Structure 1
Amino acid sequence: MTHRTTIERKSERELVVTRIFNGPPRLVFEAWTTPALMTQWWAPKSSGVPLLSCEMDVRVGGQYRLAFGHDAASSFAFFGKYLEVDPPSRLVWTNDESEDAAVTTVTFEERDGQTLLVLHELYPSKAALDEAMVGMEDGMPEQFEQLDALLATLGASA
């Protein structure tokens, strides 16, 4: 069964993405907090830009860094720190790669053996959200399809 990713702009500065995943919250949370799993689904394959490295210290005050590109010379990174970590139901982190970056909150809610994931981003301005929206409507659904495929393999081995 496939599920639809919904991307909604809730205000000039807020974005909410929702999706049901075929797996319990503990597995979905694990896929968001384990570097070896994150590297398997986070970068949309169609972008042609692989995730080169994934460093995550998933604890309050811990930091993360996701580097993308084909080699170190041409790479770019997303990085920040975790503000809240409540396994397996909630993660909150900063996105510190630019002054216009958002604070991201992701919740994982049990729904009859599946997980309702709600990703909320709060941007500092309308312009910052406008810029973030470029490519998101294609990229995020693809990422989440990749995550669903990974969860199918994790469920089979759990």
Structure 2
Amino acid sequence: MTDGPTFTQEYTLVRTYDAPPEMVFASWTTPEHFSRWFGPRALETPVDLITMDVRPGGVWEASIVTPDGTAHPLNGTYREVNVPSRLVLTTGDPNNTEGAVASVVTIDFDAIDEGTRMRFHQAGVNTDEAHAAGAKAGWIEFFERLGEHLKQLQSDTTRTETSSAEHLTGGE
């Protein structure tokens, strides 16, 4: 008997974003934000197909939809939620006995100067090298999209702050 899954493939990706940790963390834990970046660029992750019960033991689900309307559901469980610095979740069930591919994902959000360093670590269960390489390539694309989303959020925030300041000062 073992105390947990045996990881067959692991990798780490580190990205730096010009956004505060709270904003980056929220992009992982709010369906409206998650839908804007999660999944390949050519596909959609509709907000109405995302559920997130962001607490230890809570379940997340999201479906990536192809242009022909086929939904590919993904799900897992939150293991650790430490707003805004750490999120640990599973994809699938790492304790499965059926041999299904699954993983444990750990994301650390570290405040740096005027942004966030995001460290993403994925440890796969029942995962071969080819599957892990494909998953890693997918995450790289997702994180490019996350960066674009965060830039848009920052731009929207700046525009709103400028508009509010102008309103308060009478546009001076």
TM over 0.5: yes
Consecutive unaligned residues in structure 1, runs of 5 or more = 1-10
User: Residue 88 of structure 1: SS of its match in structure 2?
Assistant: coil
User: Residue 58 of structure 1: SS of its match in structure 2?
Assistant: coil
For the residues of structure 1 that align with 2:79 and 2:109, how far apart are their CA atoms?
A: 16
Q: Which residue identity does 2:132 align to in structure 1?
A: A
CA distance 1:156–1:126, change in 2 (3 Å): closer
**2:150 maps to what in 1?**
151
Aligned length in residues = 144
Q: Which residue identity does 1:103 align to in structure 2?
A: V
**1:50 maps to what in 2?**
44
**2:118 maps to what in 1?**
117
**2:107 maps to what in 1?**
106
The percent identity for this pair of structures is 30
- 1:95 to partner: Cα distance: 1.1
For the residues of structure 2 that align with 1:134 and 1:26, how far apart are their CA atoms?
A: 29
Cα distance per residue 1:87-116 (max 9 Å; x no partner): 000000111167221111001001101111
TM-score (norm 2): 0.74
**1:136 maps to what in 2?**
136
- 1:153 to partner: Cα distance: 2.2
Identify which of 24, 27, 32 aligns with 1:31: 27
CA distance 1:119–1:132, change in 2 (3 Å): same
For the residues of structure 2 that align with 1:105 and 1:44, how far apart are their CA atoms?
A: 21
For the residues of structure 1 that align with 2:148 and 2:134, how far apart are their CA atoms?
A: 25
Identify which of 46, 65, 72 aligns with 1:69: 65
Cα distance per residue 1:95-147 (max 9 Å; x no partner): 116722111100100110111111111122452x531322632x323222221
User: Residue 13 of structure 2: SS of its match in structure 1?
Assistant: strand
CA distance 1:130–1:112, change in 2 (3 Å): same
Q: Which residue identity does 2:36 align to in structure 1?
A: Q
RMSD: 2.3
- 1:35 to partner: Cα distance: 0.3
- 1:154 to partner: Cα distance: 1.7
For the residues of structure 2 that align with 1:121 and 1:37, how far apart are their CA atoms?
A: 21
**2:168 maps to what in 1?**
none
Structure of higher CA gyration radius: 2
Q: Which residue identity does 2:148 align to in structure 1?
A: A
User: Residue 123 of structure 1: SS of its match in structure 2?
Assistant: strand
